[in-house]
Structure 1
């Protein structure tokens, strides 16, 4: 067994001072659908509802062991890492200063304060995370505190490896495949380093959001790549640049092992797990389940572990998630309709709608000409095929329209 694996086991034992192992649950619904033995490693059920507590605790523990006088820790985060650091600070009785962007939702600030209590102070600075990160590091140097990276830290990676230790202990036999979500790479680096050392027959797949595929870019380039643009919807995994230390652990990964999950499709997975299984997952927490359809032919008859990395979902986002899921499934579309300004034109249009079609949005934009007016209209239906029948009727009747459902620029301004 490697030295890393031994340290990961020690980190796992130390974690028992905070919480019991998170459940490894066989999911009958997914197992039946894919004719496989599918297990969910429920990291959404830690005390802070994500695996981030593991790395923060282990790093803090080891720093304290090496330097008992170090009683001040600093991090920059607007999400799960902040909550993990806050929880660990309260546990160790040390001071924590947590930097968050000024745009951080109050709900996340309040949760972090709940976990940290009097042990932490939150500083809101910077409109963008890069500004927040720079301010936190400058402050850390000024007060001689210890900076806790969310993933680019050897002790953090070692702490995240405890997920792999628990999987093997709980399953009792090596899984055929482990599916891991990827953001900065700390979880993937830790879990794979442990399992490759203890169960070399286990295979892996890695999942990134389509709009934040920094690991795939790095693996294909053979070096770290900074993405020029990141879609922030999957906020727990939308990282512009993979961590350097995690990447050094993952140089063996082939590009074909990395799968990309479209943000709108992730929404369908989140809703299905909520409605069918009663499991609340944040977007990043749903990544490992979201790619199962792509792997259906490869996993049949095999034992598969999906790591559900977090459940910090703000239900105020639920309407957005439903909207994106409907659009991905082809059940909701938006049009700009050029409506003739004559008696009966609206009634004629409404008569074209089928029994399963419903108007979700109707907004008269402006009178663009004496004889025509523009209408923004959103339509929901129960079957995607219903739109073909509607559009055929519009064309036959000579109505002019434009489908803007996938037009990102117009959707941003109008929808």
Structure 2
């Protein structure tokens, strides 16, 4: 068993000296720690101080990895792609995967959810880019860490403890966390909250999997003196035995995101219904030289759908019917609702017991270091449809 000691801190907001001092204290007393991750806003309002940390005049005592901006005011301090600012300070980029030299797999997403993609905002397509990585991996077990600037929506659902104050969450991050299945999920936003662990499988319906711990961290040097630095040891999930990986911590709850996944599926279905699309023809063919003399050879002409105009593509042939597969989707939704009802009932009883390129490969960092510049050419991505966590799943594939 090779466990790595890791530090994670919340929004730094330019409080670099306080961060360096505290990291040194913890490392001297409880170390050595192999790395520090910073979630949320890293830079502050003082331009001179920000320039010092970028240039290396202020040095970090550990290899330090930071996320991108959460507001337009600090965006100017970040390049478009991930890079090394100085010897010990690395900007990860907007989104991607970091594979550390010690075997940890870290997924990350910078910024806050917004109406359009920008240096400090993410949208549904950014989630799809990360999900595409999962679909390309055989034998996927989950990630070791997920780092986000924003909280997932409804994260406290089913939990036996709750945050001190409400914090805005993103349904897209809920979807991402449900799909990536991290051992630990850290987020900033200035509020400390350590949720009771939740499981990543449905009891009696799926194989046992590991649990996820969500931890929200307060801002560095906050006036409420809430926890902003988290020290822990972790073993890479790929190095665990099945028994070690599937052991459930005490007070583990159901996954809090099932209701969100259901709503995302319904919303996607509504959008599909409202937008005119092309029709589909299903053709079953008989066996060659069959005794019933049924048709076994079909000749036709076809124009590639991507070369059609909208009018040509959406023109409906005579006698076009409704999609025959809607009942399957409806049964799926009913199943999710029933599952959620049982989980809520179970939770009530338990309380008595107390950046980057859009290419999937380009989102992966294999060495723990980022280049100073990147000329990689984006490649077209195919949608991820293998799991309910993907809101863009084609309904006939669900």
- What is the TM-score with the length of structure 2 in the denominator? 0.26
Q: Which has the higher contact order (CA 8 A, sep 6+)?
A: 2
- What is the TM-score with the length of structure 1 in the denominator? 0.25
Q: Which has the higher helix share?
A: 1
